[in-house]
Structure 1
Amino acid sequence: MSPKTDTKKTTKTIAGGFTADEKAAMKARAQELKAEARAGKDRAEGEKAILAAISAMKDPTDRSMGKRIHEIVTAAAPELMPKTWYGMPAYADADGKVICFFQAASKFGVRYATFGFQPDAKLDEGNMWAAAFALIKLTSAEEAKIIALVKKSVS
């Protein structure tokens, strides 16, 4: 095959390789970028978007965890701006960079929700550290860990 054919095949494979959920997440992200451009750094708009994203979660466990994570993050790091990121609750720094996020298990049909951090979170610890955590249930122990991590991420 010629290189031109290989390129077409690769492009076709990559373009056709996304699942419906992944395509929906990318579409949601494009809409979020447009909304961010219109709203600027409007805390009330971000709060409204997060609460809408949480209420739209399919699974009641995801909704309750999303709501509690939102309460925890906004209390632990009030300087972070609430927003959605790929349709999920996220929290950004003053430069608009996502620091932490919650991803519902039902979003991609996996067995656990995820609470994660992006590279701008200040969690560096030696040569290796965790950047995302699986969540099945939120107890006071998990809440305490999340509070400590969120506070560290913005320190």
Structure 2
Amino acid sequence: MGKVKKTRKNTFNYSVNRKKLKRRARKKEAPRIVCDEIRKAWDDSRSVATNLAEMGLAADPNRALLSSAHTETGTGQKQIRKPYVIQELKAAASVPSKQTMGISSDMVLYVRHMVENYGEDYKAMARDEQNYYQDTPKQIQRKVNLYRRHHPDEYQALLTSRT
């Protein structure tokens, strides 16, 4: 006959503090740094404040404002070991952003028609046949203002061609 396999029941270990273990694990996990420039220059062995100070960035904006007053008088010294981070951040900020919010071609045609025929009379625009969605004068005004912000030259040309 075969041996009877003895299985030990899983019991709860009361001597282990699960909350403390979870807190330690969370503390060990490094946060994901979204900014590429900062991530490349980050040193895991140093603290957050030290890392940011080496890059020339401020961990606490209130202290940074106070320390900038001291540096102007010459009492405080800043030691920036990684100045290339600030240069890369400035270069990334100076690149023009791609505008994600645009105006649909249908809305452009709608606004052009309204401005060509009515100028800036939004109540008359609300009564127009092409106002399929029954926009109120205020809604039409918002659409016209959006078009004016995105295409200022074309808007001026439409107004001048009407008169």
Relative to the length of structure 2, the TM-score reads 0.22
Compute the TM-score of the two structures, normalised by the length of structure 1: 0.23
Bigger helix share: 2
Kindly indicate which of the two structures has a greater share of residues assigned to strand.
1
- Greater RCO between the two (CA within 8 Å, min separation 6)? 1
